[in-house]
Amino acid sequence: MAPDLENSEILPEKKALISKKIDSFFTDIYNVYKFIALFFKELFSRPFEWKEVINQCYQVGYKSLALVSLTGFITGVVFTKQSRPSLSTFGASSWLPSLVSIAIIRALAPLVTALIAAGKVGSNMGAELGSMKVTEQIDAMEVSATNPFKFLVVTRILAITFMMPVLILYTGFIGMMGSYLNVHANELTSLTAYFKSAFATISFLDIFSSIFKATMYGFTIGVAGCYQGYHAQNGTQGVGKAANTAVVLSMFLIFVEELVIVQVVNAIR
Amino acid sequence: MDTKDIYTEAKRPVISIRDLKKSFGTLTVLNGIDIDILKGENIAVLGKSGSGKSVLIKIISGLLKPDSGIVKVLGQEVDKITAAELQQLRLKIGFSFQNSALYDSMSVKENLAFPLVRNKRDLSIKEVNDAIEEVLNEVGLSQTINQMPSELSGGQKKRIGIARTLILKPEIMLYDEPTSGLDPMTSIEINNLINKVKQQYNTSSIIITHDLTCAKQTADRVTMLLNGKFLPPGKFEDVFNTQDQSLRTFYDYNFINSK
Ligand SMILES: Nc1ncnc2c1ncn2[C@@H]1O[C@H](COP(=O)(O)OP(=O)(O)O)[C@@H](O)[C@H]1O
Ligand SMILES: [Mg+2]
């Protein structure tokens, strides 16, 4: 039987709380929408901050290179090792290179790289902009007649959006090298034979969709990190919260995007 | 209070505020501010924390928008002009932030160069370096040029923050609690710097402060922000002969009943 909701004592309070939460959820979405709209507006207005974009690209690459190299390599080795027994059962271990390359290029490299970048670059953006916000450095920039949105936000979002495809292709390559080492150790396959077999199954659509995904993930991480940082409040506590929310939010959105893009790409295939 | 003779000196107001109001949600912070700040004048604004002092100077520099009223800076209404005009106007307004707001990813030199290279793109490297050297000398901190903000003391940060605004040769200076968190000796150095800036650069200033010594040493006129309005501004001595309870609290605390 349904409880008597109308006469419940706590209900009005809860109702108010829930409606407040729903309210703030929609204001948040609206604010993010405005933030993205402002990004595109400032993106196409002069002067362009090319120097700062390049500086930020370097920062993104520098911050994540070691970590994605390591994780990409390990992913390649482990995935190959784990897949071998099932393939061997069917006497199909010669399919390993193509199986692994499909898995790495289509799914593993984009996801692993994006999650690492969310943790490393996204949190850094949240923390860096957040601390600039709460210590009035962003205000200081604005009163010295520099548009802080353009100088800090647009450059960072652009940088990670550009760099993500590069990083993902790189991780894919490193992952396949890891996989090759394992295959070579077990099946004595040569490098050329390995790559021939690996690339035989990878289509242009695979590469294209991975690059497209990478761009989306990069943009997502950039917007989440910068939005959280740029709107940080309440002193140092707010900086931590901005960094944390940036990571959680972008990781969640990356998985949602992955799900949607996979559906679309498979429909095209 | 004889503010009249100051007005008759045929000085033009550089900042002119009429019936300025500003609220955040249900919180009314400024509730009818009227003031004229004259060319070459330093005015100190007292008021307890949370009374809206920072909000006021943020409105003057266009960081916040007023709800109603007129805010004219150098003849332009800050909330009505275009973004490009505001940008030009801001070059003439120096803003010294309460916590200095130095860019902590940049060295002292880069902090000082930032406003200059971004607003005057045709300057040569030598001209930029000369300007940096000049303002560093002005604030007496030439030796810190290659240090990072985290390596500076509170007083040094304040001075570098002031130097960073001086590099654009402002006509108006807005100081947000320039001596807060500093020891008395360092505070006096900052007060002297504020006076030096006024003379050297012929600036008009608003100095927000809790520190009566600072107000006394640097201000031509003093006022207090109380319940969203200004008490009538006047000379330091006149204002503090008042029996107004909130002013007496300030006075008694700062001078421990030395009267
Ligand atoms: N951007 C803002 N949004 C909401 N409230 C604000 C904002 N800025 C200031 N306030 C509120 O306005 C009041 C005055 O703040 P402020 O001017 O910083 O005080 P102070 O006189 O100490 O400088 C405070 O209660 C503060 O919480
Ligand atoms: Mg303040």
Cβ–Cβ of B104/A137 closer than 8 Å?
Answer: yes
Pairing state between β B229-230 and B221-226: antiparallel
Under 8 Å CB-to-CB from A179, ≥6 apart: which residues?
A76, A77, A79, A80, A96, A97, A100, A101, A104
| φ, ψ dihedrals at B199, nearest 5° | -70, -50
Q: Please report whether residue A233 resides in a domain.
A: yes
Distance from the Cα of B103 to chain A's closest Cα (Å) equals: 6
CA–centroid distance, A160 to ligand 2, in Å, is 36
What is the C-alpha separation between A185 and B81, in angstroms, rounded?
A: 71
Q: Please report whether residue A195 resides in a domain.
A: yes
pLDDT tops 70 at residue B147:
yes
Q: Please report whether residue A32 resides in a domain.
A: no
Q: What pLDDT, on the 0 to 100 scale, is given for residue B229?
A: 86
The pTM (predicted TM-score) of the whole model is 0.87
Q: C-alpha angle with apex B120: A129 to A36, nearest 5 degrees?
A: 35
Condensed to tens digits (0 to 9), the pLDDT of residues A51-65 reads 999 999 999 998 899
ipTM of the complex: 0.87
Ligand 1 contact via B228 beta carbon (within 6 Å): no
Under 8 Å CB-to-CB from A165, ≥6 apart: which residues?
A210, A211, A214, A215, A218
Q: Please report whether residue A64 resides in a domain.
A: yes
Distance from the Cα of B171 to chain A's closest Cα (Å) equals: 13
Q: Please report whether residue A184 resides in a domain.
A: yes
Q: Which helix (H) or strand (E) holds B16?
A: strand B13-24
pLDDT tops 60 at residue B7:
no
Q: C-alpha angle with apex B30: B28 to B35, nearest 5 degrees?
A: 165
Range of the domain at A112: 51-268
Average confidence score pLDDT of chain A? 90
Q: What pLDDT, on the 0 to 100 scale, is given for residue B255?
A: 60
Q: Please report whether residue A41 resides in a domain.
A: no
Tokens 């007292």 sit on residue: B46
Q: Please report whether residue A217 resides in a domain.
A: yes
Q: What pLDDT, on the 0 to 100 scale, is given for residue B11?
A: 65
The predicted model gives B29-57 an average pLDDT of: 91
- Number of domain units in chain A: 1
Structure tokens at B79: 């909330």
Q: Please report whether residue A17 resides in a domain.
A: no
Give one DSSP letter per residue of A46-76, joined into a string.
SSP-HHHHHHHHHHHHHHHHHHHHHHHHHHH
Ligand 1 contact via B55 beta carbon (within 6 Å): yes
Among B22, B24, B175, name the best residue to mutate to test ligand 1's pocket (greatest count of ligand atoms within 8 A of Cβ).
Answer: B24
pLDDT tops 50 at residue B259:
no
Q: Which domains does chain B have, with CATH numbers?
A: 1-92+212-259 (3.40.50.300)
Cβ–Cβ of B115/A135 closer than 8 Å?
Answer: no
Q: C-alpha angle with apex A94: A91 to A99, nearest 5 degrees?
A: 105
Question: How far lies B221's CA from each of B5, B44, B97, B235, in Å?
Answer: 12, 6, 21, 5
Residues of chain A with pLDDT under 70: 1-10
